[in-house]
Amino acid sequence: MRKMEVRPYEAQWATLFRDEAQLLQRICGDEIVEIHHIGSTAVPGLLAKPIIDILPVVRDITRVDDYNSEMLAHGYEPRGERGHAGRRYFSKGGDERTHHVHMYQAGHPAIDRHLAFRDYLRVHPDEAKHYGDVKAELAKRFPYDSGGYVKGKDPLAKALEQKALVWKCSQNEQ
């Protein structure tokens, strides 16, 4: 059983992302258009679970399944869409999870949503601190209940996401 752990930001998370992005690029080659570090470990100063979230943007999502055996060979468990249409999700590390990979085809709206959320928190440290504090409290309250943790942070995450999307639109208009 996995324990929810939220800890202070670690600079090594950026290096862990870069190393894993290089591995994914070797596995998938030209299928990958670009790779982004997303999630809380991508926001300096934000309290986070020590799991690196990676968003590779691919040319054709239907071709990603062709890489499942190679992903398995490198420790990734292919988990299909896992509740998100148009996504291919992989996890690494079993109960000691280290990485999540969320692959989307270029143009999928989830890409902009994830990047807006990350970028918004990077430039709004007060919002990031509040989000981190809520996550830390939930990890204490639900140490072995990932559903309770996610359910607890979901309203704030959705509210921040909406703010982030509005902010992103205003940035694009400038």
Residue 76 pLDDT = 98
Residue 115, domain member (yes or no): yes
Residue 16 pLDDT = 98
**Cβ(78)–Cβ(102) under 8 Å?**
no
Which CATH number fits the domain that encloses residue 163?
A: 3.30.460.10
Q: Mean pLDDT, consecutive 10-residue segments, the chain of 174 residues?
A: 91 98 98 98 97 98 97 97 96 93 98 98 98 97 94 97 96 81
Residue 5 pLDDT = 93
Sheet with 32-38, edge to edge strand ranges: 32-38, 52-58, 99-105, 87-92, 76-78
3-state helix, strand, coil in the chain (%, to 5): 55, 20, 25
> 0.85 cut: is pTM over it?
yes
Residue 125, domain member (yes or no): yes
Q: Which domain holds residue 112?
A: 12-173
Residue 3, domain member (yes or no): no
Residue 5, domain member (yes or no): no
Residue 172 pLDDT = 81
* Number of domains present in the structure of the chain: 1
Residue 173 pLDDT = 81
